[in-house]
Amino acid sequence: MNELLTQAATRLLSGGLVSFPTETVYGLGANARDGKAVAAIYALKGRPQFNPLIVHFAQAADAQKETEWNARAEKLAPLFWPGPLTLVLPRKRDSSLSLLVSAGLDTLAVRVPAHPLAQSLLEKAGIPVAAPSANRSGRVSPTRASHVRAEFGDDVLVLDGGDCAVGLESTVLDLTGSPRILRPGSVTREMLEESLDESVAVAEPGAAIAAPGMLKSHYAPSLPVRLNAREARSGEALLAFGPHAGTLNLSESGDLAEAASRLFACLRELDKPEFSGIAVMEIPSGGLGEAINDRLKRAAARDK
């Protein structure tokens, strides 16, 4: 297993994907600092949208470096980490993580998993690892290695840690305001209320997460966005794709994974008062193009 662990860590560090067991379900992991690697997760899962992903850390101190830590997190982390609790916190301005990890949100979902193999992998690789459950979009989460192999075959290196003890994804707790459970899990509302000594709300199932682009806190450019542009009109910034000149280019080689990894950063960079709007060239619709176009449509449809 040691050799396999080294191989898995090396793969993560070189931008590859690794499936690893956690105490909840198997995750499909990528280096959270590497936008292209994170884009590969969405591509492999076949997600039609960029849902924000949970970032896994070896220890709480590492998670603190990327988030605006607060008093509630300070209370909960020592009680439930390592373990099946995910905390949503404001993202630090200078966070080194890919913007794609949080799908353009200003927040980060962070957790320290308890499974010894997850711990060893995170320590060995020495990087934060973004990991959704290791299943294709719309399928149930895998709780043993053979489930992951059935989903992805040889596309992914799988660390086999036997059956997951919890078998249910982690509790997702939003701590950006009053505490609110976004996804119930084995760390229950009662446990959280007792630890925090205050009441904890539970969001409508799927409400906050089904359409991350609709969240109030979700980043959307303040400039109007025009899609399928061939060139910039007067005053507009041009976000190009493929071998074209633009103010910025999502991917000169027309690589959708590269485009996905740069999308949110480019939109932020062009959202400046010196421009009257952002014109975006046509992005092909296959594979990752679906999620990119979904996000662009939301940005373009937004009421200004």
- Residues near ligand TXA (CB under 6 A): 22, 24-25, 27, 51-54, 86, 88, 102, 105, 107-109, 113, 131-133, 169-170, 172, 182-183, 209
Question: Sign of torsion, CA 231 233 235 239?
Answer: negative
Give the one residue of 22, 24, 133, 249 binding Mg ion; rule: CB under 5 A. Answer: 133
Binds 108, which of Mg ion, ligand TXA, none (CB < 5 to 8 A, cut-off by type)? Answer: ligand TXA
Cβ(225)–Cβ(297) below 8 Å: no
- The distance of closest approach from Cβ of residue 139 to Mg ion in the complex, given in angstroms and rounded to an integer, is 9
Binds 109, which of Mg ion, ligand TXA, none (CB < 5 to 8 A, cut-off by type)? Answer: ligand TXA
CB nearer ligand TXA, residue 5 or residue 25: 25
Interior CA angle at 29 toward 25 and 30, to 5°? 165
- The distance of closest approach from Cβ of residue 191 to ligand TXA in the complex, given in angstroms and rounded to an integer, is 16
- The distance of closest approach from Cβ of residue 302 to ligand TXA in the complex, given in angstroms and rounded to an integer, is 19
- The distance of closest approach from Cβ of residue 9 to Mg ion in the complex, given in angstroms and rounded to an integer, is 23
Binding segment toward Mg ion, per CB under 5 A, in 70-78, 126-134, 204-212, 223-231: 126-134
Instruction: State how far the Cα of 202 lies from the Cα of 197, in Å rounded to an integer.
Output: 16
Nearest to 71 by CA among 171, 197, 233: 197
From the centroid of its chain, how far is CA 259? Answer: 16
Distances in whole angstroms, Cα of residue 141 to Cα of each of 5, 16, 114, 164, 199: 23, 21, 18, 11, 30
Binds 221, which of Mg ion, ligand TXA, none (CB < 5 to 8 A, cut-off by type)? Answer: none
Q: Based on C-alpha coordinates, what's the Rg of the chain?
A: 19
Chain positions contacting Mg ion, by CB under 5 A: 133
